[in-house]
Structure 1
Amino acid sequence: MDISIVIVNYNVKHFLEQCLHSVEKALRNIRGEIFVVDNNSVDGSAHLIREKFPKVRFIQNTENVGFSKANNQAINQSKGEYILLLNPDTVVEEDTFEQLIAFMNEHKEAGGLGVKMIDGKGVFLPESKRGLPTPWVAFYKMFGLSKLFPQSRKFGKYHLSYLDKEKIQEVDVLAGAFMLLRKSVLDKTGLLDETFFMYGEDIDLSYRIQLAGYKNYYYPHTTIIHYKGESTKKGSLNYVKVFYNAMIIFARKHFPGSKAGIFSLFIHLAIYFRALLSASKRILTKVYLPLLDALIIFAGFWLITPFWEQFQFSSPGYYPPEFMQIVVPAYILIFLLSILFSGGYTKPLSLFKVGRGVLWGLITILLAYSLVDEQYRFSRALILLGTAWTGTVLMVVRLIGSWLKISDFRLSNQRIRKIAIVGHSNEAKRVQRLLEETRIKSQLAGFIALDNTDKGQNYMGELSQLEEIIRINRIDEIVFCAENISSAAIIRAMLDLSRLDIDYKIAPPESSSIIGSNSIHTAGDLYVVNLNAISKAGNRRKKRLLDLTAALLFLLLSPVGLWCYSQKVNFFANIFRVLFGNKTWIGYTADAETENNLPKLKTGVLTPADMFPEITIDQEKAMRLNRLYAKDYNVFSDMELLAKAWKKLDR
């Protein structure tokens, strides 16, 4: 056996599918085996492997055992002369394995090998080659000196940025996303250190390979795509802690006492510094737009009120100070909550949802106005004028922010993206249908043929003319049909056009997903057939709003409704459990063993099965009802179920 490929998967099913397609193509001319170790994914990865990749040796863990232990599980069963540790969010070229095995056979001193990696826009990933993170190297990296002076041999050691990325180089550290290892060397060094749960294990093993007298090489004559960020979200505070704590483990293991202490100090300073930045950024990201809106609304009432006092009563100061101090803040809170529940703060922003939220706010304020005591009813005219100001200025501010290309003000109704599909007629049309089913806002500019033998209707040219086609037709995005075009050709095209501002996607054969990535700093983008899943943020908000509204209504009607229930305590308890978010009015059918790949829901007072009291619901039917409820959610169905099964609310 020439090579054993080991892929550890955790909730990246669609990326895993694309990765395995590329790996199987790359194994056609050599003897190899593929292991997939799944760390208790809940996205249907196990079903995908069993259905589409029966030849894969599948190891399914019942818990997330971490990256190191999962890799070791497969390595212990492997038979290949070489072991490749490969991330699931990667795409390899068809001759990648052949080239690397040939290189390793010629260089017996090589213990490990890494390759040139690019992101989903064809941009080189600097972690393709790295130096050993000694205390000072880590310090230069953590505090930005390596980024300021990339060509410096002193400051640029972390990513060896002063070395030519197009030449074979001896390096210290291999990237865990693609790490080719000689099995006989692993027998001497030992496998991955399971003390590292995630991150740091690649640095540790690379260093142990060098300590054993072998070399690590960077090999740029083959390139892989790495959709950086898919397996883990690297902007999170948890990532910062896990990554830097892994560095501390490495330092204590390999550096002498004083060096380890200095390194640990640097790391802790970096953790606190990054944690502060991360927490501040998260808070500001969530609250600064609502705060800006609150200031705008307050400013509107502050400007409009004296004008109205002068116009209507010829008396500035007609309204008491309590109006601006108490009533207007109450109006602001109602407007902000209405916009929130309308989805007006969901990105990309929607002017329609903002306007809808303002309208909901107006209705709520007018209802409250009609119910409060006379002394708190100041002016309907001011409410209407304030609402007009709020709706107009909030939309104008968002339009200006979008025009200035501020990312947080990006609007969902911006210019429709022009997409071109590269592939043969049948597959290109299948991908076109798939794009239509995903409901993304796009316009098909046309098809691009692989050569002059396969041109049909709406074909704009050939793959060799790709750059010219993009420029003339103002294409925003290219979708490659992996059924027809090799991974190598896709990667070459991405590298050649990496200077252009264009996005790329790859459509795996016989798949319902289209995969890509738009930035080195973002996780991969994924187009899938769009069902109205309950996991969508908008549906979550609607469901919670219905829960709260229904609970308050039941509480208001309880003096009368209470006598309709035999379990009166349960009825009251359910109202308050729903109000405090411990339960939901409609959840999954409790008698069914809920599938792992369904979105999590609170325990329901009612279930979809209550819609059909006349039918005996067995295990299979209950599971089907759960799947339908989760994957095609409709808030009106919840309302219908509440109306039909209200007598069961005392469970």
Structure 2
Amino acid sequence: MPEKDISVIIVNYNVKEFLYQCLKSVENASVIAGKRGFSIEIIVVDNNSADGSIEYLTPLFPKVNFIKLNENLGFGKANNIGFKESQGKYLLILNPDTVIEEDNLSRMIDYMKGNPEVGAAGCKVLNSDGSFQLACRRGLPTPWASFTKLFGLQKLFPKVKFFSQYNQTYRSIDETYYIDVLIGAYMFVKREAFEAVGGFDEQYFMYGEDVDLCYSIQRMGWKIAYYHETSIIHYKGESTRKSSIKELYHFYNAMEIFSKKYYNSSSLFLLLIKLGISIRTLLAYLLKYKRQIGIILFDIIFLNLSVMIGTYYKFGGIFNLPDYAYPTVFIVITLILFGSMIAVGEYFEGKNTIRRLFYGLLLSFFILSSLTYYFREYAFSRGILLFTIGFTTLLSGLLRFFISLYDRISGKESDRRIAILGINEHSEKIINQLKSGEARNVNLMGMISDENNSINIELGVPVIGNIQEMPKIIEDYGLKEIIIAEPQLKRSDLLNLISKISDLNVKFHFVTEYEDLIASRIINDVSKTESIISKYNILKLRYRFIKRTFDLIASFFLLTIGLPLVYLLSEKHSKPIKGIWKVFTGELSLIGLYKITNEKPMIGKTGLTGLAHISKTNKLNLKIVNDLNEYYLINYSFSLDIDILLKHFFRK
């Protein structure tokens, strides 16, 4: 029998800064609910975070039940584990990158008790700039709703019910009503409803579990409700952005799983969904890497333009090479340029630099020079080759210079105009840290006071107005970020204010209780100093290309010329051949991760051998095996693979 009124279940993965902030807001809400006689428990399930979340936060929140897992099981499985430890009549499934109002818990339990037909409810969810998150009240992904969402009809006609059933954009955000689907970041669920449907479907890893759970609850006869009287802020995507998991893949894969599960009889619908998912995935990747793709296209144009200009000055016309040279010349130099840039890490690995551009073109020059030595019929002119490389260096270098200049003036590296709301010891510490040099590209415009502030505090920063003048201050000073450091302000009042000025596109950060952890996160956020390069070498394009090429060549050799060797060295002939075939098809890798569970690894591939394989795994515990797998992903190189392969064959 449940002994608590509410069990708050939070699944964490590498976002300890946001989790700290979230737990503070939940603790404050628990105090308000406690005064009403409601009992609250907080459970945090950690999905094997590598940022020391549990170690850091456990002493700060002694009343919280922390559960640390030895591997990342995904959102659904981790929540189900938290549920098994819970005692609440109601469950709040909450993301760690959220901040809730002080009266959120008491308002939600009042609503649920007053509406017994409701099995799960959500509240108004705001982005950090105060805008409304569409995902917090959705319709089911029916064939038509999915079609209009995937093919953009909903975006074209947001107020037309026929086209906007998925995100319900035709409805008011300031009314309470029944819906079909809640956002997974905030789900207030009756325990009996959660139990009746068996919790989250664990075949989803990330995304889709919320849709499936809500649909299952509805099928059992309960209603799903959107309750607009209370709000939260959701720093959308932070709990997945800090993860190196392929979130796009999991998002669209979740939609496909749901479609197969509930609409399996409609083959035409499944075909359309797959087509839509493929198109949207492609568009999502193109948008994600639009700058990189643009730079690549310009580099190719500059290279081929340089060839034509060089040909014109050498032979009197831009196409005056022998007829057999076209289009081979343009194709070959383009492929060599692209391969060389990938090899030096210029493409798809963070900021494009003139230094790596120079190295890439220098490598292209040596490769092209070598090719003309072996293919004499294409050795038209060393002068053209030198001119091509030199002029491309100039044009592509200028492109990168102007991009860098744009970033400094108005782009990613431009000064972030910020202000601090609240004049107290918290804001004083933040100002000192902002001035310490840790924060780059930050322009602190001044302080915004509240009637509770003591203006007598001398902080060396001008007071530019008060909270009642917020919209005017934002426009006059061109503010992009506001750090809220006033503990006396009620969170509900702040969220109301933020939602009213959402059209001004200002991002808000909460630091009502100063903590080095939160301040560091915010400074990284406002100054954009956080690295955008993946910590895993295995995810970098050049390493993936090298690894896949090696796998293909090695497996092809072993399945053909080396097949007698495989038979000679193995006792069970069929097993290694099956494994090598899976390497050839891309399901496995020759050298890779040690298989811990039956599920595919989120990053990398299971290997026929690897670091853990050569370390006598029967004598290693699960944590050490995980650490060896993690080390391999982070430090992957071709030489590491060769080293592992040699030790596999020659270990004692």
| TM-score normalised by structure 2 residue count | 0.69
| Distance of aligned partners of 1:32 and 1:361 in 2 relative to their CA distance in 1, 3 Å threshold | same
Structure 1 stretch displaced more, 330-339 or 23-32? 330-339
Q: Is the alpha carbon distance of 1:319 and 1:510 closer, same or farther for their aligned partners in structure 2, counting shifts above 3 Å?
A: same
1:73 pairs with one of 75, 81, 85: 81
Name structure 2 gaps, 5 residues minimum.
Answer: 545-588, 593-603, 612-623, 640-649
Which of residues 152, 168, 186 in structure 1 aligns to 2:176?
168
1:428 to partner: Cα distance: 2.6
Aligned partners of 1:303 and 1:11: how far apart in 2? 52
Q: 2:517 aligns with which of 504, 512, 521?
A: 512
Output aligned runs, 1:49-448, within 5 Å.
49-186=57-194, 190-194=198-202, 196-232=204-240, 236-249=248-261, 251=262, 260-262=264-266, 265-279=268-282, 282=285, 285=289, 289-309=295-315, 336=338, 340=342, 344-345=346-347, 349-350=351-352, 353-354=353-354, 357-358=357-358, 361-362=361-362, 365=365, 382=384, 385-397=387-399, 415-435=414-434, 438-448=438-448
334 and 209 in structure 1: CA distance in 2 versus 1, 3 angstrom threshold: closer
Maintained 8 Å contact 2:17/2:521: no
Q: CA deviation at 1:464?
A: 2.9
Moved more, 279-288 or 6-15: 279-288
How far did 1:446 drift? 2.7
Is contact 1:8-1:87 (8 Å) kept? yes
> What is aligned with 2:568?
none
CA–CA distance in 1 between the matches of 2:131 and 2:234? Answer: 10
Structure 2 counterpart SS, 1:174: coil
Quick check: 2:311–2:384 contact (8 Å CA) kept in 1?
Answer: yes
Give the one of 20, 23, 39 matched to 1:20.
Answer: 23
Inter-partner Cα distance in structure 2 for 1:126 and 1:280: 20
Question: Which stretch of structure 1 is more off in the superposition, 412-421 or 17-26?
Answer: 412-421
Q: CA deviation at 1:272?
A: 3.3
Give the stretch that moved more between structures: 126-135 or 505-514.
505-514
Aligned length: 561
Decide whether the 8 Å contact of 2:101 with 2:232 is kept in 1.
yes
1:7 counterpart letter in structure 2: I
With over 3 angstroms needed to count, the CA separation of the structure-2 counterparts of 1:146 and 1:267, relative to structure 1, is farther
Output the amino acid matched with 2:272.
L
SS in 2 for 1:389: helix
Q: Deviations over 1:489-530 (max 9, x none)?
A: 54334312211133334457314346999xxxxxx9687986
* Partner residue in 1 for 2:569: none
CA distance in 1, matches of 2:439, 2:590: 34
Give the corresponding residue for 1:497. Answer: 501
The aligned amino acid for 2:25 is S
User: 1:488–1:347: structure 2 CA closer, same or farther, 3 Å change rule?
Assistant: farther
Deviations, residues 192-223 of structure 1 (Å, cap 9, x unaligned): 44455544443344345445554332111211
Cα deviation 1:96-137 (Å, max 9, x = unaligned) = 112222223333443322101112222211222223444444
Moved more, 42-51 or 95-104: 42-51
Conservation of the 8 A alpha-carbon contact between 1:171 and 1:218: yes
Query: Distance between the aligned counterparts of 1:325 and 1:159, measured in 2?
Result: 49
Instruction: Summarize the Cα distance change of 1:401–1:361 in structure 2 as closer, same or farther, 3 Å threshold.
Output: closer
Alpha-carbon contact 2:159-2:169 (below 8 Å) kept: yes
Other-structure match for 2:482 = 478
Please give the root-mean-square deviation of Cα atoms over the aligned residues, in Å.
5.4
The separation in 2 between residues aligned to 1:215 and 1:371, in whole angstroms, is: 70
Superposed CA offset, 1:573-603 (max 9, x none)? xxxxxxxx9999xxxxxxxxxxxxxx99x99
SS at match of 1:37: strand
Paired with 1:270 and 1:514, the residues of 2 have a C-alpha distance of 44
Deviation at 1:164, TM superposition (A): 1.6
Cα distance between partner residues in 1 of 2:203 and 2:233: 29
- Measure the CA separation in 2 of the matches of 1:387 and 1:36: 57
Deviation at 1:480, TM superposition (A): 2.9
Does the 8 Å contact 2:303/2:388 carry over to 1? yes
Say if 1:416 and 1:371 are closer, same or farther in 2 by CA, change over 3 A: same
- How far is the alpha carbon of 1:426 from its aligned partner? 3.4
Match in the other structure for 2:471: 467
Aligned-partner residue type, residue 478 of structure 2: R
Distance 1:341 1:167 in 2: 55
Matched residue, 2:6: 3
> Residues 229 and 482 of structure 1: is their aligned pair in 2 closer, same or farther, counting only changes over 3 Å?
farther
Question: Residue 620 of structure 2 aligns with which residue?
Answer: none
Change (3 A) 1:302 1:34: same
| Aligned-partner Cα distance in 2 for 1:129–1:532 | 31
State the AA in 1 paired with 2:303: I
SS in 1 for 2:308: helix
Are the equivalent residues in 2 in contact too, given 1:198–1:243 (CA < 8 A)? no
Displacement after TM superposition at 1:35 (Å) = 0.4
TM-score by length of 1: 0.69
> What secondary structure, in the 3-state scheme, does the structure 2 residue paired with 1:34 have?
strand
What residue identity is the alignment partner of 1:465?
E
Q: Distance in 2 between matches of 1:145 and 1:228?
A: 23
Q: Give 1:36's aligned residue.
A: 44
Q: CA deviation at 1:543?
A: 11
